[in-house]
């Protein structure tokens, strides 16, 4: 009798687990389908989305990552790219580089007869113009992009919980106080921590370092989430606030067979500050462009 009860309970538990796992899988992949469907209908971005995943994972990937200043703080317009990163990823060697760009770099905007700040490229023409602008500047190919807005960033942090970071200086911002050293950022504090600029002795460079630190710690923490019940919620959050042309469904299935690490080297692409017609711009030198190209080529060799 006890044996029958044991097997009955075991069967119910296994059946429920399989059903839940199947439902979770369905939810996640349905959400990723929605994200992929939002890719702007241009031949370049769509072609990259259809690339063979095995080939994708066997080469270095350049991925433009943009934090968009909309979706939160009462903003509903397309917005500008408040944070600009180029991820150079290699899943074969697990050697990755994350370059952050000064948003005030003065650059020729792709497809326009004008120069403007780099963060304006997204506002002028969305992800494709932002990609082409950086491609033209660095003379490289950037097939993939990912954007996330302020609201999505905040919601993701609410799901994964507090994040420990190394804070380089003691400061107050937006009603929050941050002590120097190792601190735990609650979700409602994290956005304030990465947005402060004017009280940082290194200005925007200091803010970029904090952005890079938070990205590294979030990436690490995402890999430690053990409760499968949080995954559909995270996927749904991404579905509302993320746009990308990465083939997410296929990538997730392929990456399940690989040991993925999110340790990456960080770098900053900078310029010299100049006042032009009453506005402050960062002028990037040929030497700085060559330096970034050399680092990218060294990784690819």
Exposure b/e, 67-95, CB count within 10 A at least 16 = b: bbbbbbeeeeeebbbbbbbbbbbbbeeee
pLDDT at 274 (0 to 100) = 92
State which residues of the chain have pLDDT below 50: 1-26, 225-228, 257
Give the global pTM.
Answer: 0.75
pLDDT at 14 (0 to 100) = 31
CA separation for the pair 154, 161 (Å, rounded): 11
pLDDT at 150 (0 to 100) = 77
pLDDT at 120 (0 to 100) = 92
Q: With the CA atoms of 285, 288, 289 and 292 taken in that order, what torsion angle do they form, in degrees rounded to the nearest 10? A: -170
Ramachandran area for residue 66 (φ above 0: left; ψ -120 to 50: alpha; else beta): beta
204 CB neighbour count, 10 Å cutoff:
18
pLDDT at 68 (0 to 100) = 85
- CATH number, domain with residue 294: 3.40.630.190
- In the chain the first and final C-alpha atoms are separated, in Å, by 67
* Total domain count, the chain: 1
DSSP 8-state code for residue 260: -
pLDDT at 77 (0 to 100) = 55
Token pair of 227 as six digits: 């409760």
Distance of CA 276 to the CA centre of its chain: 31
The parent domain of residue 207 ranges over: 2-300
pLDDT at 24 (0 to 100) = 44
Q: Are 259 and 213 in contact (CB under 8 A)?
A: no
Give every CB contact of residue 124 below 8 A, 6+ residues apart in sequence: 109, 112, 116
For residue range 74-117, what is the model confidence (pLDDT) as tens digits? Answer: 555 566 788 899 999 887 777 888 899 988 999 999 988 899 99
pLDDT at 227 (0 to 100) = 43
């Amino acid at each position: 009798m006890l044996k029958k009860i044991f097997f009955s309970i075991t069967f119910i538990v296994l059946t429920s687990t399989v059903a839940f796992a199947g439902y979770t899988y369905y939810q996640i992949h349905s959400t990723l389908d929605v994200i992929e469907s939002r890719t702007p209908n241009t031949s370049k971005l769509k072609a990259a989305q259809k690339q063979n995943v095995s080939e994708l994972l066997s080469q270095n990937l350049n991925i433009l990552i943009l934090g968009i200043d909309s979706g939160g703080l009462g903003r509903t317009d397309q917005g500008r790219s408040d944070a600009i990163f180029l991820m150079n990823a290699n899943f074969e060697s697990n050697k990755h580089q994350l370059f952050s760009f000064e948003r005030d770099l003065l650059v020729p905007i792709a497809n326009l007869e004008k120069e403007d700040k780099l963060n304006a490229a997204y506002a002028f023409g969305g992800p494709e113009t932002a990609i082409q602008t950086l491609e033209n500047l660095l003379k490289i190919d950037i097939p993939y992009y990912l954007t996330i807005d302020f609201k999505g960033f905040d919601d993701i942090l609410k799901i994964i919980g507090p994040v420990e970071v190394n804070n380089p200086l003691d400061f107050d911002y937006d009603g929050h106080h941050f002590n120097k050293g190792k601190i735990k950022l609650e979700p409602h504090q994290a956005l304030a921590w990465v947005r402060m600029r004017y009280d940082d002795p290194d200005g925007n460079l200091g803010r970029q370092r904090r952005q890079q630190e938070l990205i590294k710690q979030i990436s690490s923490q995402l890999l430690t989430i053990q409760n499968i019940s949080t995954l559909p919620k995270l996927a749904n959050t991404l579905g509302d606030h993320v746009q990308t042309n990465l083939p997410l469904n296929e990538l997730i299935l392929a990456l399940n067979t690989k040991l993925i690490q999110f340790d990456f080297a960080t770098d900053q692409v900078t310029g010299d500050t100049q006042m032009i017609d009453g506005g402050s711009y960062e002028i990037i030198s040929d030497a700085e462009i060559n330096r970034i190209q050399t680092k990218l080529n060294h990784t690819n060799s």
